């Protein structure tokens, strides 16, 4: 475990039941780092509690989580040129580009009504995804149709696909470049295990991309 990011070593210590997923977690981290460093963005999708988890992940990545993420000098200069009067320079934080695919109710309900509700995530993924981007789909069973169709659409556009599921993995696992299958199958237990995993992932990403962490 010496080659694991320290955040993942801490996860293993605090949640021994998750020891078996650490290799996949490190691989997921590596893909996300490569995507963000290459100018890519993260797309997120899930249903119910997993949809809430998507928003939680976005919240940790689009603003400071454990770090302040002070703006760089060029970023401050650009804001000054734009005439922000110091307010934005003082309060904005460095961020990672994240899109949550259930965040467009007008578009989603129109597509549901006019075309097919199972394809609303896929339609958005097909519109947004590009090479260098990453889609992370959350599905406790691994068989949520709308999440799996989004994975297919993302891959068709050249994006990488990651998954967080329960122990079976389902259809989603077959579509992923990396899929973390936690050792549980009851929906609520799977969701409880997903939270410390994505918290550790967000910590590691923040440390690497904003904290000078070269580990």
Name, in order, each residue with C-beta under 8 angstroms of 177's C-beta and a sequence gap of 6 or more. Answer: 31, 160, 161, 162
157 neighbors 130 (Cβ within 8 angstroms): yes
* pLDDT confidence of residue 81: 85
Between residues 170 and 3, the one the model is more confident about: 170
* Position 212 pLDDT exceeds 80: no
Q: What mean pLDDT comes out for the span 150-174?
A: 98
164 SS3 class: strand
**Angle at 206 (CA atoms; ends 205, 207), nearest 5 degrees:** 90
* pLDDT confidence of residue 116: 97
Q: What mean pLDDT comes out for the span 157-182?
A: 98
Fold of 6-62+97-210: Rossmann fold (3.40.50)
* pLDDT confidence of residue 213: 58
* pLDDT confidence of residue 1: 43
Q: What is the largest CA-CA distance in the chain?
A: 54
Q: What mean pLDDT comes out for the span 113-128?
A: 98
CA distances from 204 to 23, 99, 160 (A): 14, 20, 19
Per-residue pLDDT band at 215 (split at 50, 70, 90): very low
Name the residue ranges covered by the structural domains of the chain.
6-62+97-210, 70-95
* pLDDT confidence of residue 198: 98
136 SS3 class: strand
* pLDDT confidence of residue 214: 46
Q: What mean pLDDT comes out for the span 65-70?
A: 95
């Amino acid at each position: 475990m010496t080659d694991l990011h320290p955040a993942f070593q801490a996860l293993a210590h605090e949640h021994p039941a998750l020891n078996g997923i650490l290799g996949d977690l490190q691989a997921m981290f590596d893909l996300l780092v490569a995507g963000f460093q290459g100018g890519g963005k993260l797309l997120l999708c899930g249903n119910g509690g997993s949809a809430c988890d998507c928003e939680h992940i976005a919240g940790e990545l689009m603003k400071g989580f454990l770090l302040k993420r002070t703006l760089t000098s060029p970023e401050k200069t650009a804001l000054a040129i734009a005439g922000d009067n110091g307010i934005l320079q003082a309060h904005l934080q460095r961020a990672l580009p994240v899109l949550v695919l259930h965040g467009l109710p007008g578009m989603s309900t129109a597509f549901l009504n006019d075309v097919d509700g199972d394809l609303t995530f896929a339609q958005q993924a097909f519109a947004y995804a590009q090479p260098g981007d990453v889609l992370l789909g959350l599905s406790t069973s691994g068989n949520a149709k709308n999440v799996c169709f989004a994975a297919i659409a993302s891959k068709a556009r050249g994006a990488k696909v990651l998954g967080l599921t329960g122990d079976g993995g389902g259809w989603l696992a077959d579509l992923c470049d990396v899929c973390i299958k936690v050792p549980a199958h009851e929906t609520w237990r799977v969701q409880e295990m997903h939270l410390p995993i994505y918290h550790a992932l967000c910590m590691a990403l923040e440390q690497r991309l904003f904290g000078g962490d070269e580990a």
